[in-house]
Amino acid sequence: MTDNNLFSIIPYKYQLLKLAGANKAIAYYRYHAIDLLTGHSFSYDFNNWIEENQKILLSSSFDLPRVIHLFYELGFLIENEFQLLSVETMLVIDIHFNSFQVIEPSVFNKIELRPLSCPSLEDYKKSFETGYEELLKGNCYQFNLTYPYLYSFKEYLRPEDFLFSLWRDKASRGAYGSATYIPFFKKLFLSNSPECLFQHREKTLSAMPIKGTLKRIDSEDWKPLWKTLVNDKKSQAELYMISDLLRNDLSRIEFPRAQIVKKKFPKLVPGLLHQYSQIDVELSASVNLWKVIEKLFPGGSITGAPKKRSMRLIQELEKRERGFYCGSTLILYKEMKSASINIRSSVVDFENYTMLYQAGGGITLLSEVEDEYKEMTYKRDSFTHTLTL
């Protein structure tokens, strides 16, 4: 049986592409898996999924679309931090589609969100100060601190209402956004991400981490604001640290030859101005898909540096699973071979009529707690305001 209501949508070259007709859709855990088309759960060793993707070359041509959602906690398995993994923790959703078509936003219901819970400054400050002590001790140089926001919505809303509300305006679509609706879970995994974990073109693999944020008014000239951001020492330190981490991660894939080709460039998203860098490395045709995932995931911009120690610290501070948020979505189709970092992302639950959104930012020795808390709210607003306009 095939559930034709399972679909993915991706913004692509000012169009929306709908991927449908899935012939295989599996949610993978460490020791079991769920067939998302039939609901059947079965025993499965996740090492088998790794082995399958070690046989797939990144240089291959993908004639039919494949969407892979890597959940943040997969990073614990990659880093051999097995004590941080529950057997019930989802690691990957892997979907093979038969078809795609260009669609246009149609009539949709207006989204109204009612806040159910959000982090207080007091709670944020406690975690910030605990993590800051680790920076002072030299145990890490940067860590990414995030918090959840939970909203409720009207029961009559559909997945399409959220999709078309978020993406009705071409200018508001994240370059690495994606959406997947899974009827079995009654959930929509919705991302308007502007950030790239990797992009493969011909022989070159590129990573484009984002670090540094200022609030902006969309209708105003952003160039004076860019002068402020580009001269901000804290933002520069964040970006340079993570760029160096990514250069190291890219160099571990095959050859130690990764180069920073863009040091500090502007990126505009709804309500925000970011800065990003670009790091490139050339790969041979023999590099497999898992090797790239293993060396790059999870993205350094949403962990910190050094990566493994930062991930442990984040788990101690946040005390929850990030899940889809801060994971990555891989799109493999013809010339498209790219992976996002799932920031500006939410999970919309149509069983409980709630939307979980998460946001945060990088903390360094130059960070001020009130400024970091405000930046987190700006990132929340970038998504929720676009969704509810």
User: Per-residue pLDDT averaged across 96-106, rounded?
Assistant: 91
Report the 3 state secondary structure along 300-346.
HHHCEECHHHHHHHHHHHHCCCCCCCCCEEEEEECCEEEEECCCCEE
Helices 233-251 and 289-296 cross at an angle (nearest 10°) of 150
With residues binned 3-state (H G I as helix, E B as strand, rest as coil), the percentages for the chain, rounded to 5, are 30, 35, 35
Flag whether pLDDT at 57 surpasses 50: yes
Decide: 197 and 236 in contact? Cβ < 8 Å. Answer: no
Residue 171 is predicted with a pLDDT of 86
Cα–Cα distances (Å) from 269 to 131, 175, 343, 375, 386, in that order, read: 29, 10, 12, 14, 10
Selection from 301, 310, 303, 255 nearest residue 278 by Cα: 301
> Would you state the torsion angle of the CA atoms of residues 264, 311, 149, 389, taken in this order, to the nearest 10 degrees?
30
Decide: 135 and 105 in contact? Cβ < 8 Å. Answer: no
Distance, first Cα to last Cα, the chain:
39
- The average confidence (pLDDT) of the chain is 95
Q: Please write the tens of the pLDDT for every residue from 287-306.
A: 999 999 999 999 999 999 99
Decide: 21 and 97 in contact? Cβ < 8 Å. Answer: yes
Q: Pairing state of beta strands 99-103 and 15-20?
A: antiparallel
Percent of the chain predicted with pLDDT > 90: 93
Flag whether pLDDT at 247 surpasses 50: yes
User: Per-residue pLDDT averaged across 44-70, rounded?
Assistant: 96
User: Per-residue pLDDT averaged across 122-141, rounded?
Assistant: 97
Decide: 76 and 84 in contact? Cβ < 8 Å. Answer: yes
Is the whole model's pTM more than 0.85, yes or no?
yes
Exposure of 280 in the CB half-sphere (CA atoms within 13 A)? 9
When mean pLDDT is compared across 100-109, 132-141, 183-192, 311-320, the lowest value belongs to: 100-109
- Using CA atoms, how far apart are residues 56 and 59, in angstroms rounded to an integer? 9
User: Per-residue pLDDT averaged across 160-187, rounded?
Assistant: 95
Percent of the chain predicted with pLDDT > 70: 99
Helices 289-296 and 46-54 cross at an angle (nearest 10°) of 120
User: Per-residue pLDDT averaged across 307-320, rounded?
Assistant: 97
Flag whether pLDDT at 110 surpasses 60: yes
Flag whether pLDDT at 2 surpasses 50: no
Residue 3 is predicted with a pLDDT of 44
- Choose the CATH number for 7-388 among 3.40.50.300, 3.30.420.40, 1.25.40.10, 3.60.120.10: 3.60.120.10
Q: With H, G, I as helix, E, B as strand and everything else as coil, classify residue 176.
A: coil
When mean pLDDT is compared across 11-15, 56-60, 185-189, the lowest value belongs to: 11-15
User: Per-residue pLDDT averaged across 74-90, rounded?
Assistant: 96
Q: How many other CB atoms sit within 10 Å of the CB of residue 12?
A: 16
Decide: 292 and 58 in contact? Cβ < 8 Å. Answer: yes
Q: Helical H runs in 168-269?
A: 223-230, 233-251
Residue 4 is predicted with a pLDDT of 52
Confidence of residue 219 (pLDDT cuts 50, 70, 90): confident
- Using CA atoms, how far apart are residues 73 and 80, in angstroms rounded to an integer? 11
Helices 121-136 and 369-388 cross at an angle (nearest 10°) of 130
Residue 1 is predicted with a pLDDT of 32
Selection from 189, 237, 242, 206 nearest residue 67 by Cα: 189
